[in-house]
Structure 1
């Protein structure tokens, strides 16, 4: 009889307690203007603003951990030490350890020249045209920047017309110093760094890449219900124009 009373009490208690809280952790990595420190030392940026809006709408808690290098973040995520990574591409191999939200913004990659530079081919409308021309190019050392760039890269390398950089700050400084005619990179990141360095840019009339990015949830530490909760929040915010307003405030393409 006593056991029955304990079980009944536990059942009644469970019926009045709130559902298990939705709480996810992510490690920060500075990637201006998506994530960076403001003048007061706090973290801000396009991705953080979008994530905070999404998590608030989903009634979930987003816990941000101290900064980690990209490789360590990826490894920790795969080992189950992090629940979430933003700005992720949905690839088949990642489905072994992750689940993906619907897209919450696009990744865009463009080609830029220094404003007023005579060698900038403003008429070029594709990487194929650039590869057939004479312009030299600066590009990030790592990352995927679209099939057109991948196809043109061997010819650029063969002719000694391609140099690489490790950070956009380095890339902008190299462009400003005349180390190349053009620079390839994430549109918002390049524009942000150019403003920081006071370098005026011109933009070629084509995008090298436009692709959706997603929230990547750890399959070991999150549930299908967590994913559904975030997806529903993204969908509602898109319908109300909230996410578009945040993206527009950063002039996202």
Structure 2
């Protein structure tokens, strides 16, 4: 009887303790304006601000490790040495090793030309229409930029109308030098780099891609409860307009 009484008290005591706070580790990778170092060498950016707000609301701790290249981050994540990757697309293949939060922002891909040039044609309303024209295009070497671009890419390459760039800094320099008429890329990243270089741009009046992105959690090192806490935090912050206010500061032209 005395042992049963002790066990009951122990269970009641554990239930009375506060839930253990979730802790997740991610590695930095510079991707202005989502995550980068400012003039003082401090990390900042849209995704970092959104993450801090979400983790604070969820009462979780976000731990960070030094910068890693993309391939290395992906490898460590799949090996269970990183818990979190931001700005991830939810794909069926990744469900074998990851779980995904609700969306916390969209990614958008647009097409830009130098302001005032003939290549920026306001009447062009689709990627297919653009591909049937004569304008030359700069596009990133790697990454997914929408089904319309993927469908048009072989014909653009065959016609010699497509050139690739490695970084958006390089892409803006090439556009400014007249290496092509137009540039394809992430809307915020292109605008951020163009402002840094002082190159005025005009966007074509359509998006090549708009898609939600998510926080990708390691299925081995995080729990369903961790995911639920982050999802609840994102939902509450969206309802209060907190995340929208952060996004708006970066999305302003």
TM-score range, shorter chain: over 0.9
Alpha-carbon deviation of 1:6? 7.5
CA–CA distance in structure 1, aligned partners of residues 71 and 252 of structure 2: 27
- 1:25-70 CA distances to partner (integer Å, 9 max, x unpaired)? 1000000000011122111100001111000000101111110000
Contact 2:111 2:182 in 1 (8 A): yes
Contact 2:120 2:203 in 1 (8 A): no
Q: Which residue of 2 aligns with 1:184?
A: 184
CA–CA distance in structure 2, aligned partners of residues 252 and 108 of structure 1: 14
Please say which of residues 122-131 and 31-40 is displaced more in the overlay: 122-131
SS in 1 for 2:251: coil
Contact 1:188 1:252 in 2 (8 A): no
Superposition map of 1:224-235 within 5 A: 224-235=224-235
Taking structure 2 as the reference length, the TM-score comes to 0.95
What 5-or-longer segments of structure 1 have no aligned partner? Answer: none
Q: Which residue of 2 aligns with 1:133?
A: 133
Matched, 1:38 2:38: yes
Contact 1:100 1:217 in 2 (8 A): yes
Alpha-carbon deviation of 1:206? 0.4
Please say which of residues 19-28 and 167-176 is displaced more in the overlay: 19-28
CA RMSD of aligned residues (A): 1.8
Please say which of residues 197-206 and 116-125 is displaced more in the overlay: 116-125
CA–CA distance in structure 1, aligned partners of residues 225 and 137 of structure 2: 46
Q: Which residue of 2 aligns with 1:64?
A: 64
CA–CA distance in structure 1, aligned partners of residues 204 and 188 of structure 2: 14
Q: Which residue of 2 aligns with 1:243?
A: 243
Matched, 1:169 2:169: yes
Alpha-carbon deviation of 1:18? 2.4
CA–CA distance in structure 1, aligned partners of residues 134 and 196 of structure 2: 29
- 1:84-118 CA distances to partner (integer Å, 9 max, x unpaired)? 00000000000000000000000000000011122
Taking structure 1 as the reference length, the TM-score comes to 0.95
Q: Structure 1 residues 102 and 252, CA, compared in 2 at 3 Å: closer, same or farther? A: farther
Please say which of residues 230-239 and 17-26 is displaced more in the overlay: 17-26
SS in 1 for 2:111: strand
Alpha-carbon deviation of 1:17? 3.2
What 5-or-longer segments of structure 2 have no aligned partner? Answer: none
CA–CA distance in structure 1, aligned partners of residues 15 and 120 of structure 2: 68
SS in 2 for 1:205: strand
Alpha-carbon deviation of 1:14? 2.8
Alpha-carbon deviation of 1:195? 0.4
Matched, 1:222 2:244: no
CA–CA distance in structure 1, aligned partners of residues 170 and 2 of structure 2: 72
Please say which of residues 62-71 and 114-123 is displaced more in the overlay: 114-123
CA–CA distance in structure 1, aligned partners of residues 132 and 14 of structure 2: 69
Q: Which residue of 1 aligns with 2:73?
A: 73
Q: Which residue of 2 aligns with 1:54?
A: 54
Residue-pair matches, total: 253
SS in 1 for 2:80: coil
Q: Which residue of 1 aligns with 2:148?
A: 148
